[in-house]
Chain A
């Protein structure tokens, strides 16, 4: 079945440092890939997405490229801010109909950015 493996946290960085959170997946066909962010005490917010190979999703300075050859969708940001402190979830939605369309989630990576 489909699965998502996400880099374990917590990740602690200083402000303006470079961020990478690794995400790899297992799926048949061409799933859609997502990064969601969960700020403390809040629900999940879609950060960015990519729906086909080589697509790059980007938002708020974050980027991730859908790499079919390495089955990866790593999240990057060139210069993190304290306000980026949150838990980041990589997720996948299968390409086929029915139950396969549910979102499959990684375990989440907690990011703490220090001033």
Chain B
């Protein structure tokens, strides 16, 4: 077990709604990254936070936004949900911004109907 916890584990939302996913990073880790994994695909990088600042972003539209809190936990917010947003959302924490290892949570399975 990595010590990275995500909530909720499963979620069903309607198209157009908004969703917030949460992640508690492993103790001592100050960097959190979010990934989207569509069914049968590899994870795609959404963004990374380091000490409460966004530190890199992938090719996702602005309706994907995030926060990192002083305790280094993090939220992923998605507005105006689309059917294609249905995926497993993975949070990973690292001990440093340049850390080579990322420890993943179990993920949140989001289904948009």
- A46–B35 Cα distance when bound, in Å, is 15
A43 in contact with B55 (CB, 8 Å):
no
Looking at chain A, what size class is its interface with the partner chain? 20 to 34
Q: Which of B38-56 contact A (CB under 8 A)?
A: 40-45, 48, 55-56
Write 21 A-B pairs (CB below 8 A) sorted by A numbering. A44-B43, A44-B92, A44-B104, A45-B2, A46-B101, A46-B102, A46-B104, A49-B100, A89-B42, A91-B42, A93-B100, A98-B56, A99-B57, A101-B97, A101-B98, A102-B48, A102-B58, A103-B35, A103-B92, A105-B43, A108-B41
Known pairs A43-B106, A44-B90; A103 contacts B43 (CB<8 A)? yes
What are the interface flags for B71-113 relative to A under an 8 Å C-beta threshold, 1 for contact and 0 otherwise?
A: 0000000000000000000101000011011111111000000
- A108–B45 Cα distance when bound, in Å, is 15
Interface size on B, residues (CB 8 A): 26
- Interface residue from B35, B48, B103, B104 paired with A101 (Cβ < 8 Å): B48
Give the residues in chain A near B104, CB-CB below 8 Å. Answer: 36, 43-46
A interface, CB within 8 angstroms of B: 32, 36, 42-46, 49, 51, 89, 91, 93, 97-99, 101-108
